[in-house]
Structure 1
Amino acid sequence: MSLLIIGSTGTLGRQVVKKALDKGFQVKCFVRNFRKAAFLKEWGAELIYGDLKLPETIPMALYNVTAIIDCSTARPNDLYNIKQIDLIAKYILIESAQQAKIKHYIFFSFLNAYNYKKIPLVKLKLSIESKLINSNLCYTIFNLSGFFQGLINQYAIPILDQKPIWMTKEETSIGYINTQDVAKICIKSLAIKKIKNKIIPLVGNKSWTSKEIIKLCEKISGKKAKITKIPVYFLRVLKELTKFFQWTWNIADRLAFIEILSEDSVFHTSMQDIWKIFNFSIDEIESLEHYLQEYFHKVMYKLKRLNYQKLEEMDESNF
């Protein structure tokens, strides 16, 4: 089976590529920058030139492709690309997939998306879902809530660097999951008939609030976090103000995500039935505790090595 991975250099995409190659699939990566994607070629993937902002590059990339795994998404601070990539180009991609008789199309969206249609990026994801569902393609849509990897820059690094962590008082609970586990499930789904033409939630085994994540990071790292709280109403006012000027529309779209924070929502759901379909046990899905322990252990080890090298250099300079 030949797979075409869209968004292959991203946080999730690269894990999907790696897992697919490990499982013996022929993997093609739809990329616009060969230099940036060179590591994928070293892994064994074939690089196919393509740019979602240039729809004419899409059809040829589907030649001899059996399935598409779409891991790409526009960044919420890039208004043009949100409209161009996550709507127009994705429509063309789906239509081209129909013409190319692609056997399976995998797409990633947001958990509880229908509750947040006012958020531009979420609204566009829902539009793509609708386009895909109404096509004649065999599809699987995975609804995600958040990745472990995003927590490193948000919480772990600021705690290590003793920099402030900005957060609201509201306590939204999110079922974060490791992208490696998402990739593993994604590749396995290609051979499972029960999840074809289905929308599947994909979250971790436990949901976490910001406070709980910070406490966990503090416990593992042995350092105290510097927390700065921002009222949600202030962010709402800022969001409305940024709508007035075209050059701040990108900021307004990004601030739209505060609606998720302001409702004390739970971005989590039971995965018991899903794990049965995939023949997984809970223990096979990595926990956030283990992930952060591994991260802090590696960082602390590197810091100790650097300090040891500095001491050696100082001793040598004294002779």
Structure 2
Amino acid sequence: MTILIVGATGTLGRQVARRAIDEGYNVRCLVRSARRASFLKEWGAELVGGDLCYPDTIERALEGVTAIIDAATARPTDSPSIKRVDWDGKVQLIQAAKAAGIERYIFFSILDADKYPEVPLMEIKRCTELFLAESGLNYTILQLAGFMQGLIGQYGIPILEAQPVWVTGKSSPIAYMDTQDIAKFAVRALKVEETSKKVFPLVGTRSWSAEEIITVCERLSGKNARVTRMPVGLLRAVRRSLRFFQWGWNVADRLAFTEVLASGKSLNASMDEVYSIFGFDVSETTTLESYFQEYFNRIMKKLKELDYEKNKSKSKKPQTKRSPFKKVNN
């Protein structure tokens, strides 16, 4: 089976590609930059140049493909808008997949997207789910809550570097999941017939508020966090101002997601049925505490090694003692 992975250079997409390759699938990746995607080629994937915004490149990429795993989304720094990539691009991809006779289509959405129509990305995800369901394709939709990988930059690094940790409004508990675990479920869906034309939540073992995550990081790092609370009203004002500039549209649309993070409503769901259908055990899923434990262990070990090398190099330098009574010529 040949799988086309869209968005393979992203945080989630690269893990999906790695998992699929490790399980013996022929993996093809639709990439905009072969240079940025060179690591995928080193892993064993086939790279095909293309862009969701250009339908002709999609058609070429689908030749000989059996299944699609769609992990693409517009980045805040991208020039194309979220609408152009996550809606127009996905509609074109789904239509091309239908025309090409693709047997399976795995799509990543957002949990509770139907509850936040005012958040652009969530509304687009909801509409894409409906469009995919009506396409006639054999699809599986996986609704995610959040990636553990994003928490390192948000909490781990600032706490280690004694930088401010920004918390917005009333923190919403979120069931973050390791992208490696998400990739495991996505690739398994290709083999499990019971996942056909179904929608599943895909979340971590429990939900965590910002305050709880900070407490875990403080305990594991041995450092105190400098917590700074950002008023939601200020973020809304920044978002409105960014809408006046085309280069700021994607950032503004992403800032709209703070309405979800600051709502106080938990982003979580039961995974009992999901584990049963996919044939996995919850004990195999990475917990947030173990994820941070591994991260801080690696960092602390590296810091000790650097400190050792620094002291070692100092000890090798010849020490010259100067007499306090000897005149120094300037």
Report the TM-score range of the alignment, normalised by the length of the smaller protein: over 0.9
Counterpart-to-counterpart distance in 2, 1:46 and 1:77: 26
State the AA in 1 paired with 2:112: N
- 1:188 is aligned to 188
- 2:310 is aligned to 310
- 2:135 is aligned to 135
Counterpart-to-counterpart distance in 1, 2:311 and 2:18: 39
- 1:12 is aligned to 12
1:111/1:270 Cα in 2 relative to 1: closer, same or farther (>3 Å)?
Answer: same
CA contact (8 A) 1:74 1:82 kept: yes
Deviates further, 50-59 or 246-255:
246-255
- 1:108 is aligned to 108
Give, in angstroms, the shift of residue 152 of structure 1.
0.3
Give, in angstroms, the shift of residue 98 of structure 1.
0.6
Question: Within 5 A, what are the aligned runs for 1:282-301?
Answer: 282-301=282-301
Counterpart-to-counterpart distance in 2, 1:239 and 1:9: 27
Counterpart-to-counterpart distance in 1, 2:79 and 2:117: 16
Counterpart-to-counterpart distance in 1, 2:8 and 2:39: 11
Asked whether 1:152 is paired with 2:152, we answer yes
**Alignment TM-score, normalising by the size of structure 2:** 0.93
Identical-residue share of aligned pairs (%): 49
- 2:255 is aligned to 255
- 2:279 is aligned to 279
Counterpart-to-counterpart distance in 2, 1:20 and 1:304: 36
> Tell me, which stretches of 5 or more residues in structure 2 are unaligned?
320-330
- 1:54 is aligned to 54
Q: What SS class does the counterpart of residue 80 from structure 2 fall into?
A: helix
Q: What SS class does the counterpart of residue 269 from structure 1 fall into?
A: coil
Counterpart-to-counterpart distance in 2, 1:25 and 1:253: 36
> Tell me, which stretches of 5 or more residues in structure 1 are unaligned?
none
1:247/1:47 Cα in 2 relative to 1: closer, same or farther (>3 Å)?
Answer: closer
Deviates further, 3-12 or 226-235:
226-235
Counterpart-to-counterpart distance in 2, 1:249 and 1:67: 32
The Cα offsets for residues 80-125 of structure 1, whole Å up to 9 and x where unpaired, read as: 3312211112111111101110000001010000011111111222
Counterpart-to-counterpart distance in 2, 1:239 and 1:17: 34
Counterpart-to-counterpart distance in 2, 1:281 and 1:245: 48
Asked whether 1:200 is paired with 2:193, we answer no
Give, in angstroms, the shift of residue 254 of structure 1.
2.6
Q: What SS class does the counterpart of residue 174 from structure 1 fall into?
A: coil
CA contact (8 A) 1:79 1:249 kept: no
CA contact (8 A) 1:146 1:174 kept: yes
Question: Within 5 A, what are the aligned runs for 1:93-104?
Answer: 93-104=93-104
CA contact (8 A) 1:3 1:26 kept: yes
CA contact (8 A) 2:32 2:49 kept: yes
Deviates further, 112-121 or 207-216:
112-121
Give, in angstroms, the shift of residue 179 of structure 1.
0.4
**Alignment TM-score, normalising by the size of structure 1:** 0.96
Counterpart-to-counterpart distance in 1, 2:248 and 2:11: 27
Give, in angstroms, the shift of residue 169 of structure 1.
3.6
State the AA in 1 paired with 2:116: Y
- 1:231 is aligned to 231
Counterpart-to-counterpart distance in 1, 2:169 and 2:95: 44
Q: Would you say how many aligned residue pairs link Structure 1 and Structure 2?
A: 319
Counterpart-to-counterpart distance in 2, 1:236 and 1:69: 34
Give, in angstroms, the shift of residue 245 of structure 1.
5.1
1:251/1:61 Cα in 2 relative to 1: closer, same or farther (>3 Å)?
Answer: closer
Deviates further, 271-280 or 142-151:
271-280
- 1:74 is aligned to 74
1:289/1:7 Cα in 2 relative to 1: closer, same or farther (>3 Å)?
Answer: same
CA contact (8 A) 1:77 1:254 kept: no
1:248/1:72 Cα in 2 relative to 1: closer, same or farther (>3 Å)?
Answer: closer
CA contact (8 A) 2:2 2:65 kept: yes
1:81/1:245 Cα in 2 relative to 1: closer, same or farther (>3 Å)?
Answer: closer
CA contact (8 A) 1:76 1:121 kept: no
1:12/1:244 Cα in 2 relative to 1: closer, same or farther (>3 Å)?
Answer: closer
Give, in angstroms, the shift of residue 247 of structure 1.
5.4
Counterpart-to-counterpart distance in 1, 2:29 and 2:194: 27
Give, in angstroms, the shift of residue 51 of structure 1.
1.4
CA contact (8 A) 2:170 2:264 kept: yes
Counterpart-to-counterpart distance in 2, 1:72 and 1:127: 16
Give, in angstroms, the shift of residue 78 of structure 1.
4.5
CA contact (8 A) 1:5 1:28 kept: yes
CA contact (8 A) 1:77 1:253 kept: no
Greater gyration radius: 2
Counterpart-to-counterpart distance in 2, 1:315 and 1:275: 56
State the AA in 2 paired with 1:132: L
Counterpart-to-counterpart distance in 2, 1:240 and 1:51: 29
- 2:27 is aligned to 27
